[in-house]
Chains A and B, each alone.
Chain A
Amino acid sequence: MIPELGHYALVLALALGLIQAIAPVIGAATRDAALMRLANSTALMQFLFVALSFAALTVCYVTSDFSVQNVFENSHSMMPLIYKITSVWGNHEGSMLLWVLILALFGAMVAAFGANLPATLKAHVLAVQSWIACAFYLFILLTSNPFQRMAQAPFEGRDLNPILQDPGLAIHPPLLYLGYVGFSIAFSFAIAALIEGRIDAAWARWVRPWTLVAWMFLTLGIAMGSYWAYYTLGWGGFWFWDPVENASFMPWLAGTALLHSAVVMEKRNSLKIWTILLAILTFSLSLIGTFLVRSGVLTSVHSFANDPTRGVFILIILVLFIGGSLSLFAWRGPMLKQGGLFAPISREGALVFNNLFLTTACLTVFVGTLYPLALEALTGAKISVGGPFFNLTFGPLFVALMFAMPFGPLLAWKRGDIFGVAQRLMAAFGVGLVAVAATFAVKGGQSILAPFGIGLAFFVMAGALVDLVERTALFRAPLAMSRMRAAGLPRSVWGTAVAHFGIAVTLLGIIGAASWGTERILALKPTQTVSLSGYELSFDGLAERSGPNYQAQVAKFTVRSGGVPVGVMEPSKRNFSSRSMTTNEAALLTRGAGQLYLSLGDAEPDGSLAIRLYYKPLVMLIWLGAVVMMLGGALSLSDRRLRVGAPKPARKPAAKPKPALQPAE
């Protein structure tokens, strides 16, 4: 009964979606306030029904209803409750349901919190949001029904793929989806603006919080995915430039550019057309990402079984939405009025620089990701484009961007003074140079680039602080005065500084882990010890342990630093009888910002156990930096102007189209 209810709820959501896709547009065209308001209730109801549908599938999983094929294929009655729940989206059908749930959630949030939006804009935004939703409801209902029943209910399920039985599955996909589905709002706003043919600074102010929310979740989602891939053996470490990873990274790059260009639009009413285009491109990249992941056209270490026929359906959705929105853009874009002027050296100029480099970097990732596909289609040659390509292309562009980053916030709007800014950044330069020298002194010249990378990271961090120091007049004015100034600074200024600081922290982590990691592979017998980077591990022995649905072979190691025990590491191998599959659980021990990483290999012929031990200095900073970036986003989001909302744009009365019909009182 419950699966049928879930299925029915999804059909109802589609029906509501179709109403919402059409009615508000007619309402906006005829100035019918009731029709436009209809979108509010349908958006909320849509979310309610998709949530019901999602809840129904979750109930099927929690109660292990193996008469539902999806549950049978991806669950097992012995699984812990948390994995029964996460299994809901640990498969194709369920993850698409999560996708539309989040899409509907964002639609409902616009309906609920968008009270200050002009009625027609809101009606159009919700309608566009519903076009996307309908396409994906149809996709699920026609090709990927998660509620499909089996003729005969099996006694036991086939279990969730053991590699996915990990807390990572609970955290990473929902965050990632909140991010890249969240960009649909920016897309809908852009399309709505194009349909209405007018756009102003207030538009940017309405779009910005939504983009920020999506960006924050995407940042965290990518970081959590990276951490998951890092501790799972065989997934290539914290970043592998795998197509599936790139699929989530491209919307992040475009979304970051969008955040910055929206600032220019909001403050200076400039870069309008570009901002609209970026909003379209960002969500288009999210759709392309969904397509790449779901269709399996590219070989990825993160791919599971996927189904090309379903891929074709997504490809059609993709072509319709990207093609349609870009055509609309080409048609209506030139009608948008140009905004304020600015000199090349100015805050606006710096933000244009940011956009130029971010989009170009995104383009190189795009080329690297899709080139193998194009080449295979054209010549039949199969290639793989891996890390070296991206390091050579994306790397230099991002380094240039990072170097320019501290300059931007210090430049004045309209016309800036680059030499003045450089002067104010002297202290930051100094910090960077000291960091380069110190790194050379400590680590020597084993890697020439790494010390400069460290220097760059410190320069960016110090630059972010210089920005705050300048604005609060710290060291120049009395302390009390600086404190008052700090309290008066807009939160978005703090947000910028914190987020810029965060990306430098991530850079530190990447350099540390990539350049100075140490590694040992060896076979050990019980009571033997191994040392690496000042840590000594003694192998205490093997033990059998049984988990809820697996048998584990656990090796116990005591870790000592300078003779003092600092922790115990217990890497294990888990054997899942349901799928006759073994997973390898690495053990991690965090020491400061570095981490010891220990994984088990096979038993050697002489009875010893193979282990692989790494020490990765600074590695935790990679993810810590992402968290800092997200906090920066949160600070920016709490800015007063975004909470209070946009002031009503002052418009010339003549420019305002008169309502066609006067309301009859």
Chain B
Amino acid sequence: MTRKQRRLILIGSSLGVLAIAAALVLSALSDSIVFFNSPTDIAEKHIAPGTRIRVGGLVKPGSVQRGENLNIRFEVTDGKSDVPVRYQGIVPDLFREGQGVVTEGKLEAGGIAADMVLAKHDERYMPREVVDALKKSGRWEEEAGQTGGGTPR
């Protein structure tokens, strides 16, 4: 086998694998990505029920209700609109009223059925998505933002 043939086989198979990978990536991107929304987006955008979305904002003070069997309901707010969220499970340690939160789940008529409530490592840190949502609704205060610190990774 000549060097040229060998190179052709090599390039051909590389392109083949890359094409497969590209097809996988494209099909996965169309199915499995989740859009992030602020509560105002949800109020305004008419997203089809059943869509998986991610919502970020603050846990509205006074909205947290704990029920039987670790069911919990609360509202996520960006100061302008609120979205009710229900979740079953143990919420992260830093889940508190008035604190930033990101949840992910299915959009339903009465709000969001979340299967994920995300925690941050640091109580001084606000998730960027939440910051953006608050900035958009004009309820962002600079002082409440980031201060120094870092991650161990």
| A residues whose Cβ falls under 8 Å from a Cβ of B | 73-74, 89-95, 161, 163-164, 169, 172-173, 176, 225, 233-235, 244, 247-248, 293-294, 296, 299, 301-307, 338, 341-344, 352-353, 356-357, 360-361, 363-364, 367-368, 371, 381-386, 388-389, 392-393, 396-397, 521-523, 579, 581-584, 599-602, 604-605, 610, 612
Contact = CB atoms under 8 A, between A and B. Distances in A.
A136 to B, nearest CB: 15
Interface centre among B1, B24, B25, B151 (most CB of A within 10 A): B151
Interface in B104-153: 104, 118-125, 127-129, 132, 146-153
B21 A95 contact: no
Contact of B121 (A95, A302, A338, A599): A302
Given A94-B150, A371-B33, A393-B28, 20 more contacts: A93-B150, A164-B121, A169-B152, A233-B92, A305-B150, A307-B148, A338-B3, A341-B1, A352-B10, A357-B17, A360-B21, A382-B35, A383-B34, A392-B27, A393-B21, A397-B20, A521-B89, A523-B69, A600-B90, A601-B70
Contacts of B54: 384
B35 to A, nearest CB: 5
The 10 closest A-B pairs by CB, nearest first: A92-B150, A234-B119, A388-B32, A234-B92, A382-B36, A305-B149, A392-B28, A601-B90, A305-B125, A393-B24
B46 to A, nearest CB: 16
B44 interface: no
Nearest to A580: B123
Contacts of A304: 120-122, 125, 149-151
Nearest to A363: B21
A218 B89 CA distance: 33
Contact of A371 (B17, B29, B127, B147): B29
21 contacts: A91-B149, A161-B123, A163-B93, A247-B153, A299-B128, A305-B146, A305-B147, A305-B150, A307-B148, A344-B6, A356-B14, A357-B17, A360-B17, A381-B35, A384-B36, A389-B32, A396-B24, A581-B123, A582-B93, A601-B70, A612-B89
B66 interface: yes
Nearest to B38: A382
Contacts of B122: 161, 163, 304-305
Interface in B44-92: 54, 66, 68-70, 88-92
Nearest to A92: B150
Contact of A383 (B35, B90, B123): B35
B34 A384 contact: yes
A353 B16 CA distance: 12
Interface centre among B1, B29, B36, B153 (most CB of A within 10 A): B153
Q: Is the interface of B mostly helix, strand, loop or mixed?
A: mixed
A389 B28 contact: yes
B18 interface: yes
A599 B150 contact: no
A178 to B, nearest CB: 13
Given A386-B34, A392-B24, A306 B149 contact: yes
A392 B127 CA distance: 27
Nearest to A385: B33
Contacts of B118: 234, 301
B72 to A, nearest CB: 9
Contact of B70 (A164, A247, A521, A605): A521
Contact of A305 (B1, B69, B124, B152): B124
B94 interface: yes
Given A301-B120, A305-B124, A357-B17, A234 B35 contact: no
B71 to A, nearest CB: 10
A94 B152 CA distance: 9
A181 B1 CA distance: 41
B29 A581 contact: no
Nearest to A89: B152
Nearest to B151: A304
A246 to B, nearest CB: 11
Nearest to A367: B25
Contacts of B34: 383-386
B35 A341 contact: no
A360 B123 CA distance: 38
Contacts of A173: 152-153
Contact of A602 (B37, B66, B104): B66
